[in-house]
Chains A and B, each alone.
Chain A
Amino acid sequence: MTCQICNTNPATIVVKKIINGEQTEMRLCEKCAKSQLAEVTSMFNFADLFGAFTPLNHNLNAMSKDHGEKNLICPTCNTDMEQLKKTGKVGCMKCYEVFGEYMEPYIKGIHTKTVHTGKVPKIAVAENENGENSSLREISRIKRQLEEAVREENYELAAEYRDLIHALSAKEESEID
């Protein structure tokens, strides 16, 4: 029998996992067994993370205690800390300013990062004081990825990037017009 993960090397090791009382058994080669072991370690972090999903997280609970149990309320939508903790959802865009400090560890727990690097809406571009143009920035970034894809001889991916650059450039030109 070949390894159930890589499907190439012969399976020499049986890996048994018991998660929440459910046992799974996999026949693996030595290399994949090792990486599985590493994953089990990282899965413990996941367990912490999943704990954070319901009903919002203990970090948030702990944080509000640190701040003297005061029940923050968003002045715009009246969502309070208790409600936020219960539903895990904010009521309006201002909530992210009101509760931001407390939510930051929770957000980091979900996404690992806390700063947006993707698309920027047009109106926000106009307000950006640096005057940096987001689609030009995006085009140059995709160009780098295109070069990378060509270097790796991944032509299918390269063609996708080329199409995206064309689409974005066309958009850019129509904006100039």
Chain B
Amino acid sequence: MTDKTFTNDIAISSRIRLARNIENTLFPQMASEADLTKVENAVTEALRSEKLAGEKYRFYEIRNMTETQRTSLAESRLISSELGKYDHSGAIINDSNSVSVMINEEDHIRIQSVKPGFDLFAAYRVADRIDDIIGESVNYAFSEKYGYLTSCPTNLGTGMRAGVMVHIPAIVMKNSLAGIISVAQSSGLEIRGAYGEGTAAMGDLFQISNRVSLGKSEIEIVQSIHEFTKEIIKTERAARNELLLLQEDDIKNEVQRAYGILTNAHMISTEEAMKLLSLLRLGTDVRLIENVSPKVVDKLMTEIQPATLTLRYRIRTDARSRDLLRAQHIKTALGDL
């Protein structure tokens, strides 16, 4: 068993984001329409398909998209919910959804690379390559002292935000999160709910990321998150073992009830579904549930989000009809196995 398969039950995905701006062009906040158009053209030109070694990319122009299409991309974490605030904003996204380049967000360019599981170094190699490709035809705003110059000083230096999404239900159940959050803070890192904030984080999914981007190299930042995530994985595994040892019947009961509701409910809200899917994910990880693949559960966590669900079924967008459809969708996904 390799280290990666051994950790992918807890680390769901690894993500790198690089913020870049074009030299001598006003940042989106102050830019004129002509500036924003120039940025849009420069980036789409820099990423013309022949430069991307056969990978297929699509350009999503925000002005040509509905609110639902936009929110759905944000729910899948391919764009930020802020994209679209400025004119001529958009995103260039590859077919496998592993690379996304946002144009005219808070900065001119935001490069994002995602890898499934615990693979931050691989995600960095991809983002670094895309950065080089764009950098061949665009001169970046850069200073010797502050590094890559960004609209917000919180992103100065490397312009990098690196993050690992972890599923840590046992740590949450044991109320150990507060301690971990303060340890993260003292190491220049932070942990936030991946869907919703604080302890109300849906689905026990959390994002571990760096707070500091200046004065450390990209590799040092990636390494510190890598090491910290390893500790979180160890802690979560220990917490799971302890729960199974001391409260096996209670955990089995919770997991099987979650499975029961998910496969039988007629209507279900996003919040309830996320809570139950988290329990089901735990159940598949510790082999209490054998007939459901963890990948199906992970996919469901995105698919049941309101805009993504609406888009898939093209329904009226009231909460009640979504709850009905969500229950049907989950039943089908779990029943098809």
Identify the A interface with B (CB < 8 A): 2, 4-5, 7, 17, 24, 26, 28, 32, 36, 39, 42-43, 46, 76-79, 87-93, 96, 103, 106-107, 110-124, 128, 138, 141-142, 145, 156-157, 160, 163-164, 167, 171
Tell me whether B214 and A116 are in contact (CB under 8 A): yes
Q: Give 1 or 0 for each of B212-250: 1 = CB within 8 Å of chain A CB.
A: 111111110001001000000001001100100000000
Contact of A156 among B3, B140, B144 (CB under 8 A): B3
Q: Which of B135-186 contact A (CB under 8 A)?
A: 135-136, 139-149, 151-154, 156-158, 160, 174-176, 178-180, 182-183, 185-186
Contact of B149 among A26, A76, A96 (CB under 8 A): A96
CA distance A145 to B160 in the complex (A): 20
B30: Cβ under 8 A from any A Cβ: yes
Provide the residues of chain B in CB contact with A46, threshold 8 Å: 185
Tell me whether B135 and A122 are in contact (CB under 8 A): yes
Q: Taking CB as reference atom, which chain B residue is nearest A78?
A: B30
Tell me whether B125 and A163 are in contact (CB under 8 A): yes
A17-B178, A119-B158, A157-B223 are contacts. A114–B142 as well, Cβ < 8 Å? no
Q: Taking CB as reference atom, which chain A residue is nearest B140?
A: A121
Q: Taking CB as reference atom, which chain B residue is nearest A156?
A: B3
B29: Cβ under 8 A from any A Cβ: yes
Tell me whether B24 and A93 are in contact (CB under 8 A): yes
A36-B182, A171-B132 are contacts. A110–B217 as well, Cβ < 8 Å? no
Provide the residues of chain B in CB contact with A90, threshold 8 Å: 27, 151-153
CA distance A39 to B145 in the complex (A): 31
B71: Cβ under 8 A from any A Cβ: no
Interface residues on B, range: 35 or more
A7-B238, A36-B179, A39-B182 are contacts. A110–B158 as well, Cβ < 8 Å? no
Closest-CB distance, A82 to chain B (whole angstroms): 14
Q: Taking CB as reference atom, which chain B residue is nearest A17?
A: B178
CA distance A79 to B25 in the complex (A): 14
Provide the residues of chain B in CB contact with A128, threshold 8 Å: 144
Provide the residues of chain A in CB contact with B148, threshold 8 Å: 116, 121
Q: Give 1 or 0 for each of B37-65: 1 = CB within 8 Å of chain A CB.
A: 00000000000000000000000000000
Tell me whether B30 and A124 are in contact (CB under 8 A): no
Give the 8 A-B residue pairs with the shortest CB-CB distance, closest first. Answer: A113-B215, A116-B147, A91-B30, A111-B214, A93-B141, A160-B121, A118-B158, A118-B217
CA distance A177 to B145 in the complex (A): 30
Contact of B212 among A110, A145, A167 (CB under 8 A): A110
Closest-CB distance, A72 to chain B (whole angstroms): 15
A-B contact pairs, 21 of them (CB 8 A): A4-B174, A4-B179, A7-B238, A26-B176, A32-B179, A43-B182, A43-B185, A76-B26, A90-B151, A90-B152, A93-B141, A96-B149, A107-B214, A116-B146, A118-B158, A118-B160, A118-B218, A120-B142, A121-B139, A124-B144, A160-B226
